């Protein structure tokens, strides 16, 4: 239930672990170019560590996201019409003691996710399957590393993407690490044109099954989840939930299915209810 993390997603684990390590190595400022959950987690962690944070976001980043990041005391710079320009400015700001925090492609991020599996095992649960969402592939990387650590590398992992963000699926079909021409749809948190190399390699080595859902299915699952658990999550997370709600995988009744409720701060009930695929 990563949605319950203070920064509203599993990024709390990945980003804070990486930031902690960079802090120990002498980082004096963290720079991020994510207006989403990664940027929020960097801002949150920076405040905890007493390290200044600068987040550069494009003009398209929602006012609400900017506010959430600023509330954590981070400097928010709005620059450019897309992430590409915002990221270029972020990179240009980095001086000697600054560290750029990547949203998904850094082994430290994956290491920070491993305790998620440690905790499940400590609860006495040996999962028969794992279901999770995939954007750039850090969650997948960390969860597979965690399973491996406990000798559970054979456990099937269902990697869920939306139709407009299916970059892992494209690479698995091509059996090559490919990049999508464009990404689209409501699950902006999953919108990586290319997954990290590690995620692609894992898909070739482990029992990873790709699943694709529509935006509408992801949104419907979020709305059901609000009623069932009184908890609002992003469509990026709804994608995973929809696979369960819509019974797209046939599990045995006795199966212990580990569903990573990855969360997300970038959504309002109004946006969900107003969505019409
Ligand atoms: C970052 C994020 C994802 C995607 O994670 P990756 O590691 O990029 O695959 C999914 N859901 C939420 C809520 C996220 O913040």
Boundary (domain end) residue, out of 69, 100, 131: 100
Residues 81, 117 within the same domain:
no
Number of domains in the chain: 2
Please state the atom number of ligand 1 nearest to the C-alpha of residue 2. 13
What is the residue with the minimal CA distance to atom 5 of ligand 1?
A: 135
Residues 69, 117 within the same domain:
no
For ligand 1, the distance from its centroid to the CA atom of residue 15, given in whole angstroms, is 11
State residue 101's pLDDT score.
97
Alpha-carbon gap, residue 107 to 113, rounded angstroms: 10
Residue with tokens 């003009």: 59
Residues 79, 113 within the same domain:
no
**pLDDT over threshold 70, residue 65:** yes
Residues 28, 128 within the same domain:
no
Boundary (domain end) residue, out of 100, 130, 149: 100
Alpha-carbon gap, residue 167 to 183, rounded angstroms: 9
State residue 35's pLDDT score.
85
pTM, entire model: 0.97
Residue 207 lies in a domain: yes
Residues 95, 111 within the same domain:
no
Residue 199 lies in a domain: yes
Residues 59, 136 within the same domain:
no
Alpha-carbon gap, residue 213 to 62, rounded angstroms: 24
Residues 134, 267 within the same domain:
yes
State residue 277's pLDDT score.
63
134 lines ligand 1 (CB under 6 A): yes
What's the whole-number mean pLDDT along residues 24-53?
A: 97
With the most atoms of ligand 1 within 8 angstroms of its CB, the residue from 107, 143, 262, 265 to mutate is 262
Residues 129, 59 within the same domain:
no
Question: 93-108 b/e with 16+ CB inside 10 Å = b?
Answer: beeeebbbbbbbbbeb
To 10 degrees, what angle do helices 107-122 and 11-24 make? 120
Percent of the chain with pLDDT over 90: 94
Residue 3 lies in a domain: no
Residue 204 lies in a domain: yes
**pLDDT over threshold 80, residue 87:** yes
Residue 30 lies in a domain: yes
Residues 48, 169 within the same domain:
no
Residue with tokens 């930031």: 19
Boundary (domain end) residue, out of 100, 126, 151: 100
Residue 267 lies in a domain: yes
State residue 62's pLDDT score.
85
142 lines ligand 1 (CB under 6 A): no
> Which residues fall within 8 angstroms of residue 115, CB to CB, at 6 or more apart?
13, 146
Residue 183: CB atoms within 10 A of its CB come to 19
190 lines ligand 1 (CB under 6 A): yes
Residue 21 lies in a domain: yes
Q: What is the CATH number of the domain that holds 48?
A: 3.40.50.1100
What's the whole-number mean pLDDT along residues 268-272?
A: 94
167 lines ligand 1 (CB under 6 A): no
pLDDT digits (tens, 9 = 90+) for 142-199: 999 999 999 999 999 999 999 999 999 999 999 999 999 999 999 999 999 999 999 9
CA nearest to 244, candidates 169, 158, 168, 186: 158
Q: Domain range for residue 48?
A: 8-100
Please state the atom number of ligand 1 nearest to the C-alpha of residue 141. 7
pLDDT digits (tens, 9 = 90+) for 39-64: 999 999 999 999 999 999 989 888 88
State residue 88's pLDDT score.
94
Residues 71, 171 within the same domain:
no
Residues 112, 185 within the same domain:
yes
260 lines ligand 1 (CB under 6 A): no
- Note whether 136 and 161 are within 8 A (CB): no
138 lines ligand 1 (CB under 6 A): yes
> Which residues fall within 8 angstroms of residue 92, CB to CB, at 6 or more apart?
none
Least confident stretch, 66-75, 221-230, 268-277: 268-277
With the most atoms of ligand 1 within 8 angstroms of its CB, the residue from 10, 187, 198, 221 to mutate is 10
Alpha-carbon gap, residue 195 to 185, rounded angstroms: 17
Q: What is the number of alpha carbons within 13 Å of residue 249 lying toward its C-beta?
A: 26
What's the whole-number mean pLDDT along residues 120-141?
A: 98
State residue 205's pLDDT score.
98
136 lines ligand 1 (CB under 6 A): yes
Residue 238 lies in a domain: yes
What is the residue with the minimal CA distance to atom 7 of ligand 1?
A: 138
For ligand 1, the distance from its centroid to the CA atom of residue 85, given in whole angstroms, is 21
Residues 139, 14 within the same domain:
no
Percent of the chain with pLDDT over 70: 100
């Amino acid at each position: 239930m990563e949605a319950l993390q203070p920064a509203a997603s599993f990024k709390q684990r990945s980003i804070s672990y990486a930031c902690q390590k960079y802090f120990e190595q002498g980082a004096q400022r963290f720079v991020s170019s994510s207006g989403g959950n990664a940027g929020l987690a960097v801002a949150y962690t920076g405040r905890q560590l007493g390290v200044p944070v600068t987040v550069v976001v494009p003009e398209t980043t929602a006012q609400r996201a900017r506010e959430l990041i600023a509330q954590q005391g981070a400097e928010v710079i709005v620059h450019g019409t897309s992430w590409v320009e915002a990221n270029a400015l972020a990179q240009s700001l980095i001086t000697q003691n600054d560290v750029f925090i990547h949203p998904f492609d850094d082994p430290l991020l994956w290491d920070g996710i491993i305790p998620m599996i440690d905790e499940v095992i400590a609860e006495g649960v040996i999962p028969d399957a794992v279901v999770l969402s995939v954007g750039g592939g850090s969650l997948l990387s960390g969860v597979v590393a965690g399973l491996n650590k406990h000798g559970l590398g054979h456990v099937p992992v269902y990697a869920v993407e939306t139709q407009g963000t299916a970059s892992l699926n494209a690479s698995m079909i091509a059996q090559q690490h490919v990049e999508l021409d464009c990404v689209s749809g409501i699950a902006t948190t999953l919108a990586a044109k290319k997954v990290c190399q590690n995620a692609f390699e894992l898909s070739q080595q482990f029992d990873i099954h790709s699943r694709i859902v529509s935006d509408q299915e992801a949104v419907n699952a979020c709305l059901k989840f609000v009623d069932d658990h009184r908890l609002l999550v992003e469509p990026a997370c709804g994608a995973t939930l929809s696979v369960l709600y819509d019974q797209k995988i046939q599990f045995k009744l006795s199966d212990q299915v580990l569903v990573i409720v990855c969360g997300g701060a970038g959504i309002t009930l109004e946006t969900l209810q107003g969505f019409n695929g």
